[in-house]
């Protein structure tokens, strides 16, 4: 649990639980809650002394959101934050670290009037040791300046609109702090980072750790792994040059049934809990932390995606990761968990997190509850030397942050040629996509990489296709096994784009429909849209079920990703409303997603078909609000 930060009496700490779930310590202080705030529309102020503190904001919600208490969506190039806190007592040379989960986009941080750190990038964490900047007594003051030019299309911005009002598939902007701010007390030398790399073939787990702080001789790191009461390893390693690199060999149980009990998968998300202890040369305990890992393998074999050595059909849903009141920031940790649970309840086994590097707490719940995740880099929209440097730098940081999560099974550096708009005609843009593909494979050779999801592929392990044709019979014909080689890559152009560039031929990679559907239903059709539209709930349910049945029947596909999880602002093509209420009963959504498997499934399917038939005979329209009310209760 977090320690108290001595907030003012009116302050409410907004907790998203421990912000870095794969390296936890007991002692941390949550700095979420009310901060002083001010907009700086033209980015004129350069120091805290110039700021007119004229508002209060609730961190970590962006000022564009209602949850922040500001709710101002006007253009603003910069904003400022300020709060005070009481520094916790420290002994034995302990240090105090200040962490930011994510701040969009360019950040400068002052502690008691002195610059403590700067950072560029809107999606990655950063921190600094602020010990030497603390006052000896009394309150400490943090000031944060976040500059985020709303018209800058050369920075990774994902779905953030550059127009004043959200349009088409773009949404309100996110400026400034949007993930948890927190303090952490650490010893003079501490465990700074860990990395886990499972290898099922060798029945081992690769382990890397890096220490931060003072360099010391004779350090040793103790690593204890266990699954429940089963001890997997209890080893101690010498620290060399501030690092540990080891392959932890496990006892291979040999029998498949027993091996399967230890392997991580969506149906059995087995995690190994880890205890870490850093010991000094005289036998003194310096630092302790908790982590977790899992045994599982991911790969591509021929035209199939493979999980733990077996072909595995991906049933994913596209998830934008927005909430109506809080934007890119989840209302709380329970909301993140609930989103993972809802995806699974709807019959999916994975998500494609679209144009967002998600909060690590979401990945924690995906790890713990068993959900596969495709991680996708938010796009820039111009191709310049600066945009290449910015996106590459942040993509490397994203891989480094998330590489140890067992739930992540694929990396997607580009989507639909965004940021590389002249890909068919520009060799430099094609080299850029190829370079990011190979860089990603270099940093993580254990997962598939989809170089440019949607079309115009120049380097990829999986051919992802975006096709919003809402006619099941046409989808079935286009992606039928007999059509793939003879027609799909030679004549078909979903979205009006070539699927392969540079004269490539399909070399047997898995083929997936990674965006399709997009069927809209909304009680307010005039201000919402989708790729196709339903007039009522019954029609929406029927269209979804028939389209999914067609896609599931296509043996040439290794998986699919339906658009989308929940309505997002003006896009009303979610299976859920924006508040996560199902548009039709969730068990019927699941039946459409995965098809009937049990006698109970067949009963639900029969009842659903009977209701649809009655509707078609009598043209009886059930108001959408009736369904929403029933599902809420």
What pLDDT sits at residue 600?
73
Instruction: Name residues whose C-beta falls within 8 Å of residue 417's C-beta, 6 or more positions apart in sequence.
Output: 423, 452, 454, 455, 456, 497
Residue from 21, 17, 25 nearest 405 by CA: 21
pLDDT band at 441 (very low <50, low <70, confident <90, very high): very high
Partners of 244 in beta bridges: 209
pLDDT level of residue 599 (50, 70, 90 thresholds): confident
Q: Which two tokens stand for residue 154?
A: 């050369």
Whether residue 524 is predicted with pLDDT greater than 70 in this model: the reply is yes
**12: confidence class by pLDDT, cuts 50, 70, 90:** low
Alpha helices, H only, 346-426: 360-369, 385-402
- Is the pLDDT at 624 greater than 60? The verdict is no
Element (H, E) at 443: helix 427-443
The helix (run of H) or strand (run of E) holding residue 223 is: strand 220-227
Q: Please report which confidence band the pLDDT of residue 71 belongs to, taking 50, 70 and 90 as the band edges.
A: very high
- pLDDT classification of 508: cutoffs 50, 70, 90: confident
Domains and CATH numbers, the chain: 28-186 (2.60.120.260), 201-293 (2.60.40.10), 307-600 (3.20.20.80)
Please compute the mean of the pLDDT values over residues 169-183 and round it to a whole number.
97
Look at residues 416, 380, 383, 379 and name the one whose alpha carbon lies nearest to residue 499: 416
| pLDDT tens column, 108-152 | 999 999 999 999 999 999 999 999 999 999 999 999 999 999 999
Query: How far apart, in whole angstroms, are the C-alpha atoms of residue 590 and residue 347?
Result: 4
Question: pTM score > 0.95 for this model?
Answer: no
Per-residue model confidence as pLDDT tens digits over 397-426: 999 999 999 999 999 999 999 999 999 999
Stretch 515-528: mean pLDDT, rounded? 93
Count of beta carbons in the 10 Å neighbourhood of residue 570: 18
- Mean pLDDT of the region 504-528: 91
Taking the C-alpha atoms of residue 534 and residue 323, their distance in angstroms, rounded to an integer, is 23
pLDDT, tens digit (0-9, with 9 covering 90-100), for 209-257: 999 999 999 999 999 999 999 999 999 999 999 999 999 999 877 777 6
């Amino acid at each position: 649990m977090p320690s108290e930060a001595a907030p003012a009496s009116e302050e409410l700490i907004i907790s998203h639980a421990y912000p870095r779930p794969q390296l936890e310590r007991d002692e941390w202080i949550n700095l979420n809650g009310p901060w002083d705030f001010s907009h700086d529309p033209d980015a004129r102020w350069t120091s805290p002394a110039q700021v007119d503190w004229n508002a209060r904001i609730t961190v970590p919600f962006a000022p564009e959101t209602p949850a922040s208490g500001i709710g101002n969506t006007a253009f603003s190039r910069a904003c400022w934050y300020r709060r005070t806190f009481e520094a916790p007592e420290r002994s034995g040379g302990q240090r105090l670290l200040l962490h930011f989960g994510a701040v969009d986009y360019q950040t400068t941080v002052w502690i008691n009037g002195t610059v403590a750190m700067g950072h560029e990038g809107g999606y990655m964490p950063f921190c600094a040791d602020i010990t030497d900047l603390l006052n000896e007594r009394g309150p400490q003051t943090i000031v944060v300046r976040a500059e985020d030019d709303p018209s800058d299309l050369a920075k990774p911005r994902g779905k953030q609109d550059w127009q004043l009002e959200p349009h088409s598939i773009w949404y309100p902007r996110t400026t400034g702090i949007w993930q948890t701010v927190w303090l952490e007390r650490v010893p003079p030398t501490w465990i700074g980072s860990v990395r886990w790399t499972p290898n099922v073939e060798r029945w081992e787990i690769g382990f890397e750790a890096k220490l931060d702080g003072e360099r010391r001789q004779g350090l040793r790191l103790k690593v204890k792994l266990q699954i429940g009461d089963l001890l997997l390893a209890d080893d101690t390693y010498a620290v060399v040059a501030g690092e540990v690199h080891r392959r932890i060999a496990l006892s291979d149980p040999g029998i498949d049934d027993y091996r399967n009990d230890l392997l991580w998968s969506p149906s059995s998300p087995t995690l190994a809990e880890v205890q870490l202890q850093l010991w000094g040369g005289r036998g003194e305990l310096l630092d302790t932390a908790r982590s977790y890992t899992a045994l599982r393998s991911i790969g591509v074999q021929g035209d199939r995606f493979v999980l733990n050595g077996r072909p595995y059909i991906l049933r994913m849903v596209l998830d934008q990761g927005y909430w109506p009141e809080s934007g890119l920031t989840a209302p709380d940790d329970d909301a993140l968990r609930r989103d993972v649970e809802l995806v699974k309840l709807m019959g999916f086994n994975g998500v494609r997190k679209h144009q967002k590097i998600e909060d690590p707490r979401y990945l924690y719940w995906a790890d713990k509850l068993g959900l596969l995740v495709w991680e996708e880099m938010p796009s820039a929209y111009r191709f310049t030397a600066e945009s290449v440097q910015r996106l590459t730098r942040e993509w490397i940081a994203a891989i480094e942050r998330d590489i140890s999560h067992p739930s992540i099974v694929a990396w997607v550096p580009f989507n639909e040629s965004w940021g590389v708009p002249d890909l068919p005609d520009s060799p430099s843009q094609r080299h850029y996509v190829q370079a990011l593909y190979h860089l990603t494979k270099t940093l993580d050779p254990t997962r598939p990489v989809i170089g440019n999801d949607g079309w115009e592929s120049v380097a990829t392990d999986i051919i992802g296709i975006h096709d919003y044709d809402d006619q099941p019979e046409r989808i079935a014909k286009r992606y039928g096994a007999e059509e793939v080689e003879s027609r799909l890559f030679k004549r078909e152009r979903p979205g009006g784009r070539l699927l392969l560039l540079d004269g490539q031929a399909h070399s047997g990679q898995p083929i997936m429909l990674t965006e399709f559907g997009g069927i809209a239903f909304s009680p307010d059709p005039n201000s919402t849209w989708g790729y196709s539209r339903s007039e009522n709930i019954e029609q929406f349910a029927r269209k979804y079920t028939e389209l999914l049945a067609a896609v599931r029947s296509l043996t040439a596909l290794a998986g699919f990703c339906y658009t989308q999880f929940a309505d997002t602002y003006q896009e009303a093509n979610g299976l859920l409303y924006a508040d996560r209420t199902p548009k039709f009963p969730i068990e019927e959504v699941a039946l459409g997603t995965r098809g009937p498997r049990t006698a109970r499934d067949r009963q639900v399917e029969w009842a659903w078909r009977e209701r649809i038939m009655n509707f078609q005979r009598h043209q009886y329209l059930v108001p959408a609000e009736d369904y929403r009310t029933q599902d809420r209760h």
